[in-house]
Structure 1
Amino acid sequence: YNKMQGWCDTPLTTPGIEGAEEAGKALSEVPFDIALSSDLKRASDTCEIIMKYNANKDELQHIASPFFREQFYGYFEGMDSEMAWRMIGGSHGYGTRQEMFAHESIDTIKDWIKEADPYHQAENAEEYWVRLDDGFKLISQLDGAENILLVTHGFTIRSLWYRYGDHIPLVPGPKNASITIMTMSEKGEIKIPKWNLMHL
């Protein structure tokens, strides 16, 4: 329906289920040690679908956490997406999110979301990254987990690209059910060498 669905807990659509099945098949030979996801239903269900194809499916544990949720859009949750982005970017001279994403940093956009929210309850950049960083602290504490499946959301993937990728443009954004590869060193250094893949 082209709605803003940050923390709105919507189910997977039929194309979403099909995309999860394809991602599961593409990742089937990666021996995951643990599976993590956002605790929102669409991400958690995607994770479960991917897991059932995995070489380690009989041993895989799934942890669903609010740390890996989508950006929280506050007042704009459930609103028509294009209308919401116009309200967020309009006072800064942007009529569409594509224009905004092409010219502004992800953190500036996050701050504008909170600024435009009449209740100022949407997450700004600082609040968002504190939450995500708590998720990565969780990952760094997982003993013996070399290959980790992490299922999250489109704007969060775009945010991670911007922070850890090498000059990755914000447009076009990631396709649904695409695969992004992240690496984390023992010191906690994160990099994104590949993104927006439909197969390995």
Structure 2
Amino acid sequence: MTKLNLYVVRHGQTYFNIYNKLQGWSNAPLTEKGIQGAVTTGQKLANIHFSAAYSSDTTRAQDTANIILKENNSAEGVTLITSPFIREQFYGSFEGDDMDVVWEKVGAPYNMHTFKELVENFSLAKIRELMKAADPRHDAENNTEYWQRVEQGFTLIANNPELHDNDNVLLISHGNTILSLLERYGDGKFDTRVRPDNGSVTKMELADGDLTIISYNQ
């Protein structure tokens, strides 16, 4: 059984983050704080030997990955692999909208008005279903669509023929995706109401297609 050590990093802060806009497949550049945060994360991981590096194909994830690799002491020869499978959840016609307005619309049928209320009453899987129903065009990913895509990202990593047992892999991901992984694979040990910080590191182990969460939001 091949076990891979995944260092899953949430991308650096973007302008959509500070503008409180939903940012799934849509994109916004890193802020200066986001760039510096990626540098700090890179310095924290500077002595980890990465055998491979992956990110979603959004520029915020790619830029974060490249900054971290630049700070790494042994990343020479590591080529960043990007994939749409690793993107954040797709929010359909709500992409780029004010988050507070969107969650009000999603929660309205249940007399809920904030994302906090929603996560205190529903799983993230259920919230995806509610969002697709609330999306006027119904383009937002439901839970099945989301996981069918994301699982292909982990299959891509697991099937890399150049990776060997106990290799370290850098993976630049997104806030709701990291929370969703915690919900699905964390065995209830982590509080999914606590969002990962931009630039934070969550350690996971990938073995035979199964994920184990080692630590969160470090």
Q: Indicate the residue corresponding to 2:125 in structure 1.
A: 107
Displacement, 1:152? 0.9
Q: Indicate the residue corresponding to 1:152 in structure 2.
A: 173
Displacement, 1:19? 1.2
SS at match of 2:217: strand
**Gap runs ≥5 in structure 1:** none
Distance in 1, matches of 2:22 and 2:209, equals: 32
Verify the 8 A CA contact 1:35 1:63 in the aligned structure 2: yes
1:173 counterpart = 2:195: yes
Aligned-residue CA RMSD in angstroms? Answer: 1.0
Verify the 8 A CA contact 1:102 1:170 in the aligned structure 2: no
1:56 counterpart = 2:74: yes
**Gap runs ≥5 in structure 2:** 1-18
Verify the 8 A CA contact 1:182 1:192 in the aligned structure 2: yes
SS at match of 1:52: helix
CA deviation map 1:22-56 (0-9, x unaligned): 11011111100011001001011000000011122
SS at match of 2:204: strand
Distance in 2, matches of 1:66 and 1:5, equals: 14
Verify the 8 A CA contact 1:33 1:147 in the aligned structure 2: yes
**Correspondence list, 1:1-200, <5 A:** 1-145=19-163, 146-167=167-188, 168-185=190-207, 187-197=208-218
Distance in 2, matches of 1:108 and 1:25, equals: 37
CA deviation map 1:105-164 (0-9, x unaligned): 110011111110010001000000000011111011012421110001111111111111
Query: Structure 1 stretches (4+) deviating beyond 3 angstroms?
Result: none
TM-score (norm 1): 0.95
Verify the 8 A CA contact 1:85 1:97 in the aligned structure 2: yes
User: What amino acid sits opposite 2:84 in the alignment?
Assistant: P
SS at match of 2:36: helix
Distance in 2, matches of 1:181 and 1:26, equals: 13
Taking every aligned residue pair, what percent have the same amino acid on both sides?
Answer: 43
Distance in 1, matches of 2:23 and 2:206, equals: 29
User: What amino acid sits opposite 1:94 in the alignment?
Assistant: M
SS at match of 2:67: helix
Q: How many residues align?
A: 196
> Relative contact order: is structure 1 or structure 2 higher (C-alpha 8 Å, sep ≥ 6)?
2
Q: Indicate the residue corresponding to 2:7 in structure 1.
A: none
SS at match of 1:177: coil
TM-score (norm 2): 0.87
Displacement, 1:172? 1.5
